[in-house]
Amino acid sequence: MTQKAEFLDRMGLDMPIIQAPMAGVSTPQLAANVSNSGGLGSLGLCAMNTEAARKAIRDTKALTNGAFNVNAF
């Protein structure tokens, strides 16, 4: 198995697409739509306070059963 195939299998992805986790513009709906379409959706949490970040993660979990990425630095 190639590294790409192993990564896709491990993450449960159909396509090698990772949405950029752009702070201020990524939304739970966008991340969930990417995940539901077979890619890896992402949330950019850097511009959010802790409660807003938790809400974004909860909202994304409610919209998808797929894997998604969160980015906080």
pLDDT in tens, 9-32: 998 999 999 999 999 899 999 999
On whether residue 5 sits in a domain, the answer given is no
Query: What are 3's two structure tokens?
Result: 């590294």
Query: For residues 1 and 46, what is the distance between their CA atoms, to the nearest angstrom?
Result: 36
Query: For residues 61 and 54, what is the distance between their CA atoms, to the nearest angstrom?
Result: 11
User: Is 0.95 topped by the overall pTM?
Assistant: no
On whether residue 8 sits in a domain, the answer given is no
Structural domains in the chain (count): 1
On whether residue 41 sits in a domain, the answer given is yes
Range of the domain at 50: 20-71
On whether residue 28 sits in a domain, the answer given is yes
Distances (CA, A) of 44 to 4, 5, 38, 70, 71: 24, 26, 19, 6, 5
**pLDDT score of 1 more than 90:** no
Query: For residues 73 and 64, what is the distance between their CA atoms, to the nearest angstrom?
Result: 24
Specify the pLDDT at position 73. 79
